[in-house]
Amino acid sequence: MNVYSIFPTDIYIEENSNIDNKKLSEIILEKEKIEPARFLSNIKGWQSSEDLNRDARFSELMLYVSQSFKLIFEHNNYKDGLKLIITDMWANVNREKDFNKMHLHGNSDWSFVYYVRVPENSGVLRFADPRIRRGMSPNEDFLKNLDNPSQHGEYLITSGEGKLVIFPAWLEHWVEPNFSSDPRISISGNMSLEMN
Protein backbone atom coordinates (compact mmCIF):
# COMPACT_ATOMS: atom_id res chain seq x y z
CA MET A 1 0.00 0.00 0.00
CA ASN A 2 1.28 3.49 -0.87
CA VAL A 3 0.82 6.32 1.61
CA TYR A 4 0.56 9.94 0.46
CA SER A 5 0.80 12.82 2.90
CA ILE A 6 -1.37 15.46 1.25
CA PHE A 7 -1.93 19.12 2.13
CA PRO A 8 0.93 19.39 4.64
CA THR A 9 1.51 22.67 6.46
CA ASP A 10 5.07 23.33 7.50
CA ILE A 11 6.10 25.39 10.52
CA TYR A 12 9.78 26.17 10.99
CA ILE A 13 11.32 26.55 14.45
CA GLU A 14 14.84 27.59 15.30
CA GLU A 15 16.54 28.70 18.51
CA ASN A 16 19.20 31.39 18.85
CA SER A 17 21.33 32.28 21.84
CA ASN A 18 23.39 35.00 20.12
CA ILE A 19 20.81 37.80 20.06
CA ASP A 20 20.86 40.12 23.07
CA ASN A 21 17.31 39.51 24.31
CA LYS A 22 17.92 41.54 27.46
CA LYS A 23 18.71 44.62 25.34
CA LEU A 24 15.70 44.02 23.08
CA SER A 25 13.50 43.65 26.15
CA GLU A 26 14.73 47.01 27.52
CA ILE A 27 14.08 48.77 24.19
CA ILE A 28 10.57 47.33 23.90
CA LEU A 29 9.59 48.13 27.51
CA GLU A 30 10.78 51.74 26.97
CA LYS A 31 8.68 51.97 23.79
CA GLU A 32 5.69 50.61 25.72
CA LYS A 33 5.94 53.57 28.11
CA ILE A 34 5.73 56.23 25.40
CA GLU A 35 3.84 54.68 22.46
CA PRO A 36 0.10 54.06 22.49
CA ALA A 37 -0.94 50.45 22.02
CA ARG A 38 -2.70 49.31 18.91
CA PHE A 39 -5.31 46.60 19.20
CA LEU A 40 -5.68 43.96 16.49
CA SER A 41 -5.62 40.39 17.77
CA ASN A 42 -4.38 41.34 21.23
CA ILE A 43 -6.82 41.36 24.13
CA LYS A 44 -5.34 43.86 26.52
CA GLY A 45 -1.57 43.85 26.32
CA TRP A 46 0.51 46.27 24.29
CA GLN A 47 1.38 46.06 20.63
CA SER A 48 3.73 48.57 18.99
CA SER A 49 3.36 50.18 15.60
CA GLU A 50 4.49 48.05 12.64
CA ASP A 51 7.70 49.93 11.84
CA LEU A 52 10.32 48.06 13.89
CA ASN A 53 11.77 46.83 10.58
CA ARG A 54 12.94 50.43 10.01
CA ASP A 55 14.57 50.69 13.45
CA ALA A 56 18.32 49.93 13.34
CA ARG A 57 18.21 48.53 16.88
CA PHE A 58 16.34 45.50 15.48
CA SER A 59 18.63 44.93 12.46
CA GLU A 60 20.37 41.93 14.07
CA LEU A 61 17.02 40.18 14.51
CA MET A 62 16.00 41.00 10.94
CA LEU A 63 19.24 39.54 9.62
CA TYR A 64 18.69 36.40 11.70
CA VAL A 65 15.14 35.97 10.34
CA SER A 66 16.35 36.46 6.76
CA GLN A 67 19.19 33.97 7.17
CA SER A 68 16.85 31.44 8.79
CA PHE A 69 14.59 31.68 5.75
CA LYS A 70 17.27 30.19 3.45
CA LEU A 71 16.21 26.65 4.40
CA ILE A 72 12.59 27.55 3.65
CA PHE A 73 13.57 28.68 0.15
CA GLU A 74 15.12 25.27 -0.49
CA HIS A 75 12.42 23.24 1.23
CA ASN A 76 9.58 24.90 -0.70
CA ASN A 77 11.18 24.51 -4.11
CA TYR A 78 11.05 28.25 -4.82
CA LYS A 79 12.48 29.62 -8.07
CA ASP A 80 15.94 31.12 -8.15
CA GLY A 81 16.01 34.90 -7.97
CA LEU A 82 13.34 35.29 -5.32
CA LYS A 83 14.05 37.65 -2.47
CA LEU A 84 12.46 37.93 0.92
CA ILE A 85 11.29 41.28 2.27
CA ILE A 86 10.28 41.83 5.88
CA THR A 87 7.38 44.17 5.21
CA ASP A 88 6.48 44.96 8.80
CA MET A 89 7.52 44.03 12.31
CA TRP A 90 6.09 44.90 15.72
CA ALA A 91 6.59 44.18 19.42
CA ASN A 92 4.10 42.51 21.76
CA VAL A 93 4.01 42.83 25.54
CA ASN A 94 1.47 40.56 27.22
CA ARG A 95 1.13 41.03 30.95
CA GLU A 96 -0.91 38.94 33.36
CA LYS A 97 -4.06 37.52 31.71
CA ASP A 98 -3.34 39.26 28.37
CA PHE A 99 -3.68 37.09 25.26
CA ASN A 100 -4.13 37.11 21.49
CA LYS A 101 -7.31 35.79 19.88
CA MET A 102 -7.31 33.62 16.78
CA HIS A 103 -6.13 35.47 13.68
CA LEU A 104 -4.06 35.26 10.54
CA HIS A 105 -1.81 37.75 8.76
CA GLY A 106 -3.29 38.96 5.47
CA ASN A 107 -1.40 40.36 2.47
CA SER A 108 1.78 38.42 3.32
CA ASP A 109 3.39 35.17 2.28
CA TRP A 110 5.04 34.23 5.58
CA SER A 111 4.90 35.42 9.18
CA PHE A 112 7.14 34.94 12.18
CA VAL A 113 7.33 35.39 15.91
CA TYR A 114 10.54 35.73 17.89
CA TYR A 115 10.44 35.30 21.68
CA VAL A 116 12.42 37.92 23.60
CA ARG A 117 11.26 37.25 27.16
CA VAL A 118 9.23 34.25 28.26
CA PRO A 119 8.40 33.82 31.95
CA GLU A 120 7.22 30.41 33.07
CA ASN A 121 3.47 29.85 32.62
CA SER A 122 3.09 32.79 30.23
CA GLY A 123 1.08 31.01 27.53
CA VAL A 124 1.76 28.96 24.42
CA LEU A 125 1.32 29.62 20.70
CA ARG A 126 -1.42 27.49 19.13
CA PHE A 127 -2.06 26.79 15.45
CA ALA A 128 -5.39 25.58 14.05
CA ASP A 129 -5.60 22.86 11.42
CA PRO A 130 -6.26 24.82 8.20
CA ARG A 131 -8.44 22.02 6.81
CA ILE A 132 -11.75 23.34 8.12
CA ARG A 133 -13.59 20.13 7.27
CA ARG A 134 -11.18 18.20 9.52
CA GLY A 135 -13.28 19.31 12.49
CA MET A 136 -16.24 17.29 11.23
CA SER A 137 -14.71 14.04 12.39
CA PRO A 138 -12.61 14.52 15.51
CA ASN A 139 -10.87 11.28 16.39
CA GLU A 140 -8.55 12.20 19.25
CA ASP A 141 -10.44 9.94 21.66
CA PHE A 142 -9.43 6.93 19.56
CA LEU A 143 -5.69 7.65 19.36
CA LYS A 144 -3.08 5.85 21.47
CA ASN A 145 -1.18 9.13 21.81
CA LEU A 146 -1.12 12.60 20.25
CA ASP A 147 2.48 12.51 19.03
CA ASN A 148 1.48 12.87 15.38
CA PRO A 149 0.40 16.51 14.85
CA SER A 150 -1.46 15.62 11.64
CA GLN A 151 -3.98 13.63 13.69
CA HIS A 152 -5.46 16.45 15.73
CA GLY A 153 -6.93 19.88 15.08
CA GLU A 154 -4.47 22.07 16.99
CA TYR A 155 -0.73 22.22 17.33
CA LEU A 156 0.94 24.04 20.17
CA ILE A 157 4.42 25.48 20.49
CA THR A 158 5.87 26.19 23.89
CA SER A 159 7.55 29.57 23.91
CA GLY A 160 11.20 29.95 24.81
CA GLU A 161 13.56 32.90 24.82
CA GLY A 162 15.45 33.05 21.56
CA LYS A 163 12.95 30.81 19.73
CA LEU A 164 11.98 31.83 16.20
CA VAL A 165 8.82 30.39 14.63
CA ILE A 166 8.17 30.96 10.91
CA PHE A 167 4.82 29.91 9.46
CA PRO A 168 2.55 30.56 6.45
CA ALA A 169 0.77 33.88 6.94
CA TRP A 170 -2.61 32.28 6.20
CA LEU A 171 -2.31 29.79 9.08
CA GLU A 172 -4.69 30.73 11.90
CA HIS A 173 -3.09 31.00 15.32
CA TRP A 174 -3.59 32.45 18.79
CA VAL A 175 -1.67 32.91 22.04
CA GLU A 176 -2.96 31.66 25.37
CA PRO A 177 -3.21 34.04 28.34
CA ASN A 178 -0.14 34.91 30.33
CA PHE A 179 -0.67 33.52 33.83
CA SER A 180 2.63 34.88 35.06
CA SER A 181 3.02 38.18 36.89
CA ASP A 182 5.93 39.02 34.54
CA PRO A 183 5.45 40.25 30.97
CA ARG A 184 5.89 37.96 27.99
CA ILE A 185 7.67 39.87 25.21
CA SER A 186 7.78 38.86 21.57
CA ILE A 187 8.42 40.40 18.18
CA SER A 188 6.20 39.47 15.24
CA GLY A 189 6.49 40.26 11.57
CA ASN A 190 5.32 39.58 8.07
CA MET A 191 7.35 38.69 5.00
CA SER A 192 6.66 38.84 1.28
CA LEU A 193 8.43 37.16 -1.61
CA GLU A 194 9.39 39.13 -4.72
CA MET A 195 11.37 38.41 -7.86
CA ASN A 196 14.68 40.27 -8.17
Cα gap 28→41, rounded to integer Å:
19
Instruction: Work out the pLDDT band at 139, boundaries 50, 70, 90.
Output: low
CB 118 within 8 A of CB 161: yes
Question: Using one digit for the tens of pLDDT, what is the confidence trace for 23-74?
Answer: 999 999 999 999 999 999 999 999 999 999 999 999 999 999 999 998 898 8
pLDDT on residue 146: 66
Average pLDDT, the chain: 91
Which listed CATH number (1.25.10.10, 2.40.30.10, 3.30.70.100, 2.60.120.620) goes with 12-130+154-195? 2.60.120.620
Question: Using one digit for the tens of pLDDT, what is the confidence trace for 174-183?
Answer: 999 999 999 9
pLDDT of 143 higher than 90: no
pLDDT on residue 44: 94
Would you list the domain boundaries of the chain?
Answer: 12-130+154-195
pTM, 2 dp: 0.92
